[in-house]
Amino acid sequence: MSKKVGSDIEIARAAKMQPIEKIAEKLGIPEKHLFRYGPSKAKIDLHYVDELRSRPDGKLILVTAITPTPAGEGKTTTTVGLGDGLNRIGKKAVICLREPSIGPCFGMKGGAAGGGYAQVVPMEDINLHFTGDFHAIGMANNLLAALLDNHIYWGNELGIDSRRITWRRVLDMNDRALRSIVASLGGVANGYPREDGFDITVASEVMAIFCLATDLNDLSRRLGNIVVAYTRDRKPVYARDLKAEGPMTVLLKDALMPNLVQTLENNPAFIHGGPFANIAHGCNSVIATTTALKLGEYVVTEAGFGADLGAEKFFDIKCRKTGLKPSAAVIVATIRALKMHGGVAKEDLGKENVGALKKGIVNLARHVENVKRFGIPPVVAVNRFVADTEAEMAALKQACAELGAEAISCTHWSDGGAGTEELARKVVQIAEGGKANFRTLYPDDMPLWDKVRTIAQDLYGAQGIIADKKVRDQFAEYEKAGFGHYPICMAKTQYSFSTDPNLKGAPSNHVVPVREIRLSAGAEFVVVICGEIMTMPGLPKVPSANFIKLNARGEVEGLF
Amino acid sequence: MSKKVGSDIEIARAAKMQPIEKIAEKLGIPEKHLFRYGPSKAKIDLHYVDELRSRPDGKLILVTAITPTPAGEGKTTTTVGLGDGLNRIGKKAVICLREPSIGPCFGMKGGAAGGGYAQVVPMEDINLHFTGDFHAIGMANNLLAALLDNHIYWGNELGIDSRRITWRRVLDMNDRALRSIVASLGGVANGYPREDGFDITVASEVMAIFCLATDLNDLSRRLGNIVVAYTRDRKPVYARDLKAEGPMTVLLKDALMPNLVQTLENNPAFIHGGPFANIAHGCNSVIATTTALKLGEYVVTEAGFGADLGAEKFFDIKCRKTGLKPSAAVIVATIRALKMHGGVAKEDLGKENVGALKKGIVNLARHVENVKRFGIPPVVAVNRFVADTEAEMAALKQACAELGAEAISCTHWSDGGAGTEELARKVVQIAEGGKANFRTLYPDDMPLWDKVRTIAQDLYGAQGIIADKKVRDQFAEYEKAGFGHYPICMAKTQYSFSTDPNLKGAPSNHVVPVREIRLSAGAEFVVVICGEIMTMPGLPKVPSANFIKLNARGEVEGLF
């Protein structure tokens, strides 16, 4: 860990990438099924994806995390590192990650393709337009919006109440000016003025649908089911009423092919889809995960935010809907973050503090317990920092042993796959031990309100949930309208088990206030919003865009 | 012409495409310089483009047209057909076309990749996302908008007058609801409310810049020069004041590589960039054209609308700025359209009418004369329809001979390159005869007002131009601000030499009213608007989106 590690972009540029055909060959994908985007990116033909369906599945490993600090605890780097580690110990492992959003790259510095020696490449491409998937998703979202306003313009046969339109437009850009607008101004030719707004593309329900669809037919069916508005007498208006699912599917047909790239160690990685982890489920596409499971012995994937949000949605939404059965879960922790949960201030995190660490382990303990509730055996990956001391690591190892989840030191950031070999061996031991017995937290037929209460009580340690009558009525309305069997998609702060981001550790007896619920009828879940959720970020005072340019060698500067 | 011709999409699907490497090989492009997008599309590495600069140029042929009917006279099909015809007679010919816009595909049925047996393929891809260039251009445009509003939000150090912001957002979508909006509503966190609006992506000045830039440095310089707003005391605020040109160039770096595809006859075609032909210059990218000239003996390209707009801008903007010297011009005419110019009603165009045809030839005659003013020898390509009679064709041939421009019957729509062999031979004869002596219509140092008057009088047959004092003052202001040496970009109806779309034939002594002028300081021209210009289309009552879907074989239906 004392080794000098260059910047992410320096390391990425120094990478010796293999032609993408070679990476595909490792998985046995014939070249004719590759749809190449330059020398080091390719999409995989959906016909080939279909042909794979009869094959047996590899083992699925979820990488999740403790309640994070704002810097994140290293889920993506650990996912990449574990994939490389598994390959190093002779397992054919494939990584599945989300695609990063382009908009935020121009706000805060930093890409989203791992870091240090645990990265996926070509990093600039992945962080910029990549293979155009998000542009296609944005187009599909905005075509639906245009068809909706066009319908109203030409006579509004469906009787859409323009005050009850729920479908918003999107851009893959941090642009606060578009959060709330009045559209269709300027006279008769421009339509009927109404309130509207833009979200960032990753917040589109089309993104969530894209990531849950099992094939093009399922995609089309789900797109048709989107509720875009209500009539004056509150009947839902669906995307299919606007005949929108056909052209939306056409716009998405290429995007739905999973994207293959490689790690710095030339191991295969699928990077496909990237829904928000609050108002959506925060996992890469089902198509990429299921395809990877047919091609690899091991598939390592991650889910957004800490395990209370990410793992719960991975299990209760993605696995429930698709029959995926994970074999193990890796909970990423850092000694820094655990000390923070133990009450240490940010500026003191660099100092050894075994007492605070032990106190903060309550946060990890609850995540370990939570993962076990789903029948999945956990292992703790300690993402090591230079300032971590041996005494701290020893204390953490002992505490984890008591929790029944081994803690393993990982140095993938500085050492690549060599730094996760021990973790890889442990993961194989668990997965091949066959101890996993996946179950969802709640059954489909539990009332929506009770599903939310179950999540809050069993996973968050809450006393219960509360909501205004208006919100409670909405639960009842959704059930009456036939959406009661949907799973819940919780939207709350990722910085605490509670809805108060300042409540660190493992708070108990708090109450979870449900502020609002929203229907994602295409994605097939009910979004439960507990707190402020920002679906269109803004740019900071000094955006990273100010420093981004091509240098004299034609390389991108300032993006990472 | 009595041969049964299938629908464009049927023909395109039956095409035997060659791998794009084979097409590149015909031009001598080494495979390592190809950046493939699937098996039949590729971008050409900009390093390789740079390496070509010392090579001699091939001969440049412009395809333009008479004043069109709403259906168009077949410029794109003739461009494709001529390219195929030249290859058939043994010339290494390359085609350069504009990329179609995706938004309009969901409005009116019909793609923009040629038709019949004169098409470029893969047609669906070209009409949908293609290689993502327009998405990149939209992102660059909208990043600049976001940076501008963000600057105001954080204190407005530049003193931007929010009432004098000229930079609009864009989407590649026909969406009338976004033409005129009020943005930044919803309180302090969302900025200062102001009037704003969206254009369709092809109308962005970024698109015009993209198509005029000679390399990445020139692109960056031009992007920095965009005037986005004015201060309260009317000083221009540039994109470079917002440090926007760096990240915008990064967003466009891949897009700027020219796109290579093929015709149905497996001849190379560059399809790159697609600016509006009214508020911009309506030609494919300079990079694609100059690259093609280094690789082929002949380059056939087209310019939007009739010769009064398209050819004039091609000569006075694109050629002036880049030193391109065309060798010949092909003016596409149809007997139907000439009869319309001769006064025949739409429903009677199917009947023989030699008298009306002769009368309508005045329109063609003026275009012939106009092209000659630029020192370019013209030939007339008669795009044949089944209903055309031999008597009509004979009359047209004779009239053209008298005009000093041979009229040649072309049947590329039904016969492909075999239907343009005679045209190809004539084009070669002209080009190799060396009669071309290209000159612009007006010099750089002519006052802006006089430039507009010259175009109106010399090309449109107008008596003169008029404008309100406010507009005339604007001309003077632009000159004072140092933009007087820019060429003019005329924005008027394409359906008449005059500004009245109903004035067919070759009207004279009309007056051209200048309604508004706009500065495109990055594209380096002054847009002169004479009439209503729509920069954000709407969808029709029954949009083609209603019929677009994937069929059971996974093919796109309803798009073409």
Residue A109: active-site member: yes
Give the residue-averaged pLDDT of A385-405: 96
- Is residue B544 in some structural domain? no
Residues B407 and B276 in one domain: yes
Where in B370-427 does DSSP place strands (E)?
378-383, 407-410
Q: Quick one: pLDDT band at residue A110, thresholds 50, 70, 90?
A: low
Tell me, yes or no, if the pTM score tops 0.95. Answer: yes
Residues A365 and A507 in one domain: no
Residues of A in contact with B174 (CB under 8 A): 146
A76 appears as a binding residue in the annotation: yes
Q: Verify whether the Cβ–Cβ distance A250 to B550 is below 8 Å.
A: yes
Closest listed residue to residue B203, CA positions, set B499, B558, B491: B491
- pLDDT confidence of residue B110: 64
**Nearest-neighbour CA in chain B from A545: distance (Å):** 6
- Is residue A401 in some structural domain? yes
Residues B262 and B411 in one domain: yes
Residues making up the annotated binding site of B for ATP are 69-76
Residues of B in contact with A40 (CB under 8 A): none
Chain A residue with CA closest to B105: the answer is: A247
A72 appears as a binding residue in the annotation: yes
Give the best residue of A127, A141, A143, A256 to mutate against chain B (max B CB count within 10 A): A143
- Is residue A545 in some structural domain? no
Q: Verify whether the Cβ–Cβ distance B147 to A539 is below 8 Å.
A: yes
- CATH number of the domain that residue A365 is part of: 3.40.50.300
* Nearest neighbour of B177 by CB, restricted to A149, A556, A559: A149
Residues A99 and A61 in one domain: yes
Write down the H helix ranges in A282-420: 286-295, 310-313, 320-322, 335-341, 354-373, 390-403, 412-415
Q: Is A448 helix (H, G, I), strand (E, B) or coil?
A: helix
What amino acid positions of B are annotated as catalytic residues?
75, 77, 98, 109, 277, 305, 385, 413
Closest listed residue to residue B383, CA positions, set B401, B366, B404, B408: B408
- Is residue B551 in some structural domain? no
Around Cβ B458, how many Cβ atoms within 10 Å? 15
Give the best residue of B548, B553, B555 to mutate against chain A (max A CB count within 10 A): B548
Q: What is the distance between the alpha carbons of residues B297 and B27, in angstroms, rounded to a whole number?
A: 10
Q: Verify whether the Cβ–Cβ distance B548 to A154 is below 8 Å.
A: no
Residues B28 and B123 in one domain: yes
A170-A173-A174 Cα angle (round to 5): 110
A116 appears as a binding residue in the annotation: no
Residues B490 and B516 in one domain: yes
- Is residue A540 in some structural domain? no
Residues A373 and A285 in one domain: yes
Q: Verify whether the Cβ–Cβ distance B250 to A549 is below 8 Å.
A: yes
Chain A and chain B share a number of CB contacts under 8 A equal to 217
Residues of B in contact with A37 (CB under 8 A): 36-38
Residue A12 half-sphere exposure, CB side, CA atoms within 13 Å? 24
Q: What is the distance between the alpha carbons of residues B113 and B108, in angstroms, rounded to a whole number?
A: 15
The residue among B210, B243, B276 that closes a domain is: B243
Residues A269 and A181 in one domain: no
- CATH number of the domain that residue B158 is part of: 3.30.1510.10
- CATH number of the domain that residue B457 is part of: 3.10.410.10
Read off the tokens for B250. Answer: 């990064």
Residues of B in contact with A191 (CB under 8 A): 176-177
* Nearest neighbour of B150 by CB, restricted to A185, A538, A558: A538
Catalytic residue (choose from A113, A213, A239, A277): A277
Residue B334: partners with Cβ closer than 8 Å, 6 or more residues away: B69, B73, B74, B382, B383, B384, B385
Give the residue-averaged pLDDT of A268-292: 96
Residues B278 and B364 in one domain: yes
Catalytic residue (choose from A41, A59, A88, A98): A98
What is the average pLDDT score of chain A?
95
Q: Verify whether the Cβ–Cβ distance B545 to A244 is below 8 Å.
A: yes
- Is residue B439 in some structural domain? no
Residues A42 and A109 in one domain: yes
Closest listed residue to residue A379, CA positions, set A340, A326, A324: A326
Residues B350 and B386 in one domain: yes
- Report ipTM (2 d.p.): 0.96
The model's pLDDT over A320-366, given as tens digits with 9 standing for 90+, comes to 989 999 999 999 999 999 999 999 999 999 999 999 999 999 999 99
- pLDDT confidence of residue B7: 83
- Is residue B165 in some structural domain? yes
Q: Verify whether the Cβ–Cβ distance A106 to B146 is below 8 Å.
A: yes
- pLDDT confidence of residue A3: 59
Give the residue-averaged pLDDT of A67-96: 94
- pLDDT confidence of residue A321: 85
Residue B284: partners with Cβ closer than 8 Å, 6 or more residues away: B96, B97, B98, B99, B211, B270, B271, B272, B273, B274, B301
The model's pLDDT over A400-409, given as tens digits with 9 standing for 90+, comes to 999 999 999 9
Residue B423: partners with Cβ closer than 8 Å, 6 or more residues away: B81, B82, B85, B330, B379, B381, B408, B410
Residues B125 and B138 in one domain: no
Closest listed residue to residue A77, CA positions, set A281, A332, A259: A332
Read off the tokens for B402. Answer: 């008298």
Helix (H) or strand (E) holding A223: helix A216-224
Q: Verify whether the Cβ–Cβ distance A181 to B179 is below 8 Å.
A: no
* Nearest neighbour of B139 by CB, restricted to A153, A172, A253: A172
Enclosing domain of residue A182: 133-243
Give the C-alpha distances (Å, rounded to integers) separating A99 from A284, A312, B163, B296.
7, 20, 38, 40
Give the best residue of B124, B129, B192 to mutate against chain A (max A CB count within 10 A): B129
Own/partner long-range contacts of A394-398 (Cβ < 8 Å, ≥24 apart): A395/A354, A395/A357, A395/A358, A396/A333, A396/A335, A396/A338, A396/A357, A396/A361
Q: Verify whether the Cβ–Cβ distance A554 to B173 is below 8 Å.
A: no
The rounded percent of chain A whose pLDDT value lies above 90 is 91
Q: Verify whether the Cβ–Cβ distance A547 to B246 is below 8 Å.
A: yes
**Nearest-neighbour CA in chain A from B114: distance (Å):** 21
Backbone torsions φ then ψ of B218, nearest 5 degrees: -65, -40
Q: Verify whether the Cβ–Cβ distance A186 to B175 is below 8 Å.
A: no
Specify the number of domains making up chain A.
Answer: 3
Q: Quick one: pLDDT band at residue A69, thresholds 50, 70, 90?
A: confident
Which of the residues in chain B have pLDDT under 70?
Answer: 1-4, 109-111
Read off the tokens for B136. Answer: 């990149």
The residue among A220, A243, A266 that closes a domain is: A243
**Nearest-neighbour CA in chain B from A196: distance (Å):** 10
Chain B residue with CA closest to A251: the answer is: B128
- Is residue A268 in some structural domain? yes
